[in-house]
Amino acid sequence: MLSTIPVQDTSIKHLRQACSNCSLRELCLPLGLSVEEMRHVDELVSQGRPVKRGDALYRAGEPFRALFAVKLGFFKTSVVSEDGREQVTGFHMTGDLIGLDAVSTDLHTCDAVALEDSQVCELPFVEMEELARKIPAIQHHLYKVMSREIVRDHGVMLLLGNMKAEERIAAFLLNLSQRFAQRGYSASSFHLRMTREEIGSYLGLKLETVSRTLSKFQEQGYIKVQNRLIEIIQIDALRQLVSNCQG
């Protein structure tokens, strides 16, 4: 069965909190590698690289060389049509792996932009593949991560294809809440890193609709909104909204 909330989890499963080292290490920890294998891993990992808020980590059309693990911070990925309209395809936080779409053509197919000052870890893909051949667990893990991204996308398709505005926003808030909680932050109180417009783009809604719906949730006492600070008051009310749609 499909989980109720589209799980945005290209993240490392057991990651419980922001990691200060590059996340490939953490990515490999649950795999139970030998000391020597871990050395291989460490060799691959380049130094963490800072990305300023508003800067692009990569843009569509650029040649693909590496995947990126978000070490710290927050990114959006989006495809932009020539007439300037943007479809946000995902929001990515600590531990998430981005750039998977670029493997298909050796070109990036979307933009990745930092929504706050961030740090990423560069994972050269050619070397990743080499490593994957040496260490089956890594090969398998990479397949899994990509598959998880596909599952997540299917969840978004369900959301975009079947849900009403309120249901979408509720699902979105629950998803964020869950992901923050997984990383050791509060599940009930968090800061939105993105604008209403970006939320709308992700959810297939206009920014006015996003704003109105958040206001409505606040009126109904489901949440408290203060700018980009969200406090979830009645998480069950949100859950019910979503499950009314998807069962």
Partner DNA sequence: CGCACTTTTGAACAGAATCAAGTTTTGTGG
Partner DNA sequence: CCACAAAACTTGATTCTGTTCAAAAGTGCG
DSSP 63: B
With CA atoms as reference, report the closest residue to 199 among 242, 232, 226, 165.
Answer: 165
Q: Is 65 exposed, middle or buried (0-12, 13-18, 19+ CB in 10 A)?
A: middle
Report which of 126, 109, 111 is spatially closest to residue 51, judged by C-alpha positions: 111
Run of H or E including 92: strand 86-93
Asked if residue 104 binds its own copies (CB under 8 A), the reply is yes
140 vs 228, which CB is nearer to its own copies? 140
Give 67 or 194: the residue with its C-beta nearer to DNA.
194
Out of 14, 52, 85, 164, point to the residue binding its own copies (CB under 8 A).
85
Task: Verify binding: residue 197, DNA, rule CB under 7 A.
Answer: yes
**Residue 29: contacted member of DNA, its own copies, none (CB under 5 to 8 Å, by partner type):** none
Binds 47: which of its own copies, DNA, none (CB < 5-8 Å by kind):
none
Q: Is 193 in the site for DNA (CB under 7 A)?
A: no
164 binds its own copies, rule: CB under 8 A = no
Is residue 229 involved in binding its own copies (CB under 8 A)? no
Contact (CB, 8 A) for 51 and 115: no
Binding mask 212-241 for DNA (x = CB under 7 A): x-xx---------xxxx-------------
**Closer of 35 and 126 to its own copies (Cβ):** 126
Q: With binding defined as CB under 8 A, does residue 146 bind its own copies?
A: yes
Structure-block tokens of residue 230: 């969200």
Token pair, residue 114, equals 């930092």
Vertex 18 angle, CA 14 and 22, to 5°? 85
| Residue choice 16, 52, 53, 140 for contact with its own copies (CB under 8 A) | 140
Binding range to DNA, per CB under 7 A, among 10-18, 87-95, 144-152, 209-217 = 209-217
What is the chain's alpha carbon radius of gyration, rounded to the nearest angstrom?
A: 18
Query: Rounded distance, CA 63 to CA 136, Å?
Result: 27
Both structure tokens of 97:
């792996």
Among its own copies, DNA, none, partner that 58 touches (CB below 5 to 8 angstroms by kind): none
25 binds DNA (CB under 7 A): no
Q: Which residue has the tokens 């969840």?
A: 155
Cα-Cα-Cα-Cα torsion 160, 166, 169, 171, nearest 10 degrees, comes to -70
Per CB under 8 A, residues contacting its own copies are: 1-2, 60-61, 79, 81-85, 87, 89, 100-105, 109-110, 129, 132-133, 136, 139-140, 142-144, 146-151, 153-154, 156-158, 160-162, 201-204, 245-247
Per CB under 7 A, residues contacting DNA are: 164-166, 192, 195-197, 204-212, 214-215, 225-228
